[in-house]
Amino acid sequence: MPQRFVVLQDLINTDKDSLIEGLGIYGTKYYTKKPKECHICGGGDINKIEVLGASSKPLLWTCDECGEFYLMKSHIYTEVLLNKAKCLYTNPMDWIGLNKGPKN
Protein backbone atom coordinates (compact mmCIF):
# COMPACT_ATOMS: atom_id res chain seq x y z
CA MET A 1 0.00 0.00 0.00
CA PRO A 2 1.64 3.27 -1.09
CA GLN A 3 2.26 5.94 1.50
CA ARG A 4 2.77 9.62 0.80
CA PHE A 5 4.66 12.17 2.85
CA VAL A 6 3.24 15.70 2.82
CA VAL A 7 3.57 19.03 4.59
CA LEU A 8 0.36 20.19 6.30
CA GLN A 9 0.37 23.60 4.61
CA ASP A 10 0.19 21.83 1.24
CA LEU A 11 -3.10 20.17 2.27
CA ILE A 12 -5.22 22.62 4.24
CA ASN A 13 -7.60 25.47 3.62
CA THR A 14 -6.56 27.94 6.33
CA ASP A 15 -9.93 29.75 6.39
CA LYS A 16 -11.49 27.03 8.59
CA ASP A 17 -11.91 26.91 12.38
CA SER A 18 -9.76 23.81 12.89
CA LEU A 19 -6.96 22.11 10.98
CA ILE A 20 -9.12 19.02 10.47
CA GLU A 21 -11.91 21.14 8.96
CA GLY A 22 -9.21 22.71 6.79
CA LEU A 23 -8.67 19.25 5.34
CA GLY A 24 -12.37 19.01 4.55
CA ILE A 25 -13.08 16.50 7.35
CA TYR A 26 -16.20 17.45 9.31
CA GLY A 27 -17.14 14.21 11.05
CA THR A 28 -15.47 12.55 13.99
CA LYS A 29 -15.40 9.00 12.64
CA TYR A 30 -11.96 7.49 12.27
CA TYR A 31 -10.63 4.35 10.66
CA THR A 32 -7.85 2.35 12.30
CA LYS A 33 -7.99 0.01 9.30
CA LYS A 34 -8.06 1.09 5.67
CA PRO A 35 -11.60 1.89 4.49
CA LYS A 36 -12.74 -0.61 1.84
CA GLU A 37 -13.94 2.19 -0.40
CA CYS A 38 -14.33 5.95 -0.49
CA HIS A 39 -17.68 7.11 0.88
CA ILE A 40 -17.74 9.99 -1.62
CA CYS A 41 -16.82 8.46 -4.99
CA GLY A 42 -16.88 4.72 -4.23
CA GLY A 43 -13.26 4.33 -5.32
CA GLY A 44 -11.04 1.71 -3.72
CA ASP A 45 -7.64 3.36 -4.16
CA ILE A 46 -7.21 4.43 -0.50
CA ASN A 47 -3.69 5.18 0.73
CA LYS A 48 -1.88 6.43 3.84
CA ILE A 49 -0.59 9.96 4.35
CA GLU A 50 2.12 10.91 6.82
CA VAL A 51 2.07 14.61 7.66
CA LEU A 52 5.68 15.67 8.17
CA GLY A 53 6.28 17.16 11.61
CA ALA A 54 3.01 15.83 13.04
CA SER A 55 3.90 12.20 13.65
CA SER A 56 6.41 9.60 12.53
CA LYS A 57 3.51 7.40 11.43
CA PRO A 58 0.70 7.87 8.90
CA LEU A 59 -2.07 10.10 10.24
CA LEU A 60 -4.67 10.13 7.46
CA TRP A 61 -6.18 7.99 4.74
CA THR A 62 -6.86 9.55 1.36
CA CYS A 63 -8.81 8.48 -1.69
CA ASP A 64 -6.47 8.84 -4.65
CA GLU A 65 -9.44 9.04 -6.99
CA CYS A 66 -11.30 12.05 -5.50
CA GLY A 67 -8.93 13.39 -2.81
CA GLU A 68 -11.23 12.79 0.18
CA PHE A 69 -9.44 12.48 3.56
CA TYR A 70 -10.27 10.15 6.44
CA LEU A 71 -8.94 10.19 10.00
CA MET A 72 -6.84 7.28 11.29
CA LYS A 73 -7.00 8.45 14.92
CA SER A 74 -9.54 10.35 17.00
CA HIS A 75 -10.49 13.90 16.01
CA ILE A 76 -8.92 15.46 19.13
CA TYR A 77 -5.69 13.44 18.94
CA THR A 78 -5.29 14.23 15.23
CA GLU A 79 -5.87 17.96 15.81
CA VAL A 80 -3.16 17.97 18.50
CA LEU A 81 -0.69 16.26 16.17
CA LEU A 82 -1.53 18.53 13.24
CA ASN A 83 -0.92 21.58 15.42
CA LYS A 84 2.67 20.38 15.86
CA ALA A 85 3.18 20.65 12.10
CA LYS A 86 1.55 24.04 11.47
CA CYS A 87 4.78 25.96 10.98
CA LEU A 88 6.46 23.58 8.54
CA TYR A 89 6.45 24.43 4.85
CA THR A 90 8.17 23.37 1.68
CA ASN A 91 9.35 25.18 -1.39
CA PRO A 92 8.49 23.10 -4.49
CA MET A 93 11.51 24.58 -6.29
CA ASP A 94 13.77 22.82 -3.76
CA TRP A 95 12.56 19.45 -5.05
CA ILE A 96 13.53 20.00 -8.71
CA GLY A 97 16.18 17.55 -9.84
CA LEU A 98 16.11 15.36 -6.73
CA ASN A 99 15.53 12.21 -8.75
CA LYS A 100 18.39 12.79 -11.18
CA GLY A 101 20.91 10.94 -9.05
CA PRO A 102 24.30 11.99 -7.71
CA LYS A 103 26.40 14.56 -9.52
CA ASN A 104 29.79 13.43 -10.77
79 contacts 19 by C-beta, under 8 angstroms: yes
Q: Which spans in the chain are helix H? A: 19-22, 75-84
For residue 93, pLDDT over 80 is answered with: no
Confidence of residue 1 (pLDDT cuts 50, 70, 90): low
Higher pLDDT, 97 or 60: 60
Please give the pLDDT value at position 17.
77
Alpha carbons 102 and 77: distance in angstroms, whole number: 40
Q: What are 27-74's pLDDT values in tens digits? A: 899 999 999 999 999 999 999 999 888 989 999 999 999 999 999 999
The identity of residue 69, as a single letter, is: F
80 contacts 22 by C-beta, under 8 angstroms: no
CA 23 to mean position of chain CA atoms: 8
